Structure 1
Amino acid sequence: MRRDSIVQTWQVEVTLISRAPLAEEHRDRITTALSGPVIIADDNRNGTMSITFRVRAESRDRAVFEASSALTDAARQTLGDILPFLGISAGRDGGTASELAPSLVGYIEISTLLGVSRQRARELAEKHGLFPAPVARLATGPVFTLESVQEFLSKWERKGGRPPKKRVS
């Protein structure tokens, strides 16, 4: 029997964008649906939330799949919708979880993080000198690392209102 076919307990942390903390009722429902110890933590500073729970699987890849499926099912049951997530990290229970890939965001997630429209998020990404470069360009558009966008957000000097119209002389 191969070692990786042994079912083990994995601790998984899923990172999501959060416009506002989940209501206590929704937290309780998700916790019940995921069955077992669940930690839901908000990071208001970064506009994210993490949900940490355990799954049983033969490998880290399978643990990520199981966690993704479990959270998607729990959100559909309790909220009537999915919770789109940015990244997953997984590690053997009691060990250190490691991220499988950097958390990635597109224009929709950026607009939520920055509190602007999708069009404004795209404009900032294309024209603002401090905005990070995308790590990939997919058919759906460019993707950026969450960390680089959060760094931009910490340096961005938001200006209110529309710029004045140029007068034609």
Structure 2
Amino acid sequence: MASWHAEVTLTGKPGDTAIEELTTTLPGFPVITADEQTGRLTVALAVDASTVRQATDAAFKAVTDAARAVLGKAELVGVRVLSEEDYRAEVERPARLDLVGSTEGSKLFDPPISRQRFEELARTHPDFPPHVAELARGKVYTRASVEAFGGRWERRRTGRPPKAKD
């Protein structure tokens, strides 16, 4: 039997008490993270099984049963299962993220916008992508999410309207 690392993502916004109860309900030592922006809950746990399919089924059943018992409702969003060897390799050598700050992000628009306008959009536009981290120099975003937003954002015209023709 092999050891697997499983991550099961569900919808839900549990409070601290529910997360604590889920932690004690699930087998082993699960790690639970809640993302309030997306309304998703991710449970990471170790599973012993002979095949990846058996590991996936065992993780799915354990997490959904515990979530239903604690939360009353749980809708599956995704399951990710890695062998313990692949999981360790991924943790030791994480994928490089392509991140941008407001200065770099402002140049991704066509035509480019000012850094101040970028920061204003980040604060006020409901569809602007969420930041992935906040550093001493400010918030950082994934390049792909900013490029996608820039492609669908409808720029409003500013300045004086053109003169009417006689």
Superposition TM-score, scaled by structure 1 size: 0.48
Instruction: Pick the structure with greater CA Rg.
Output: 2
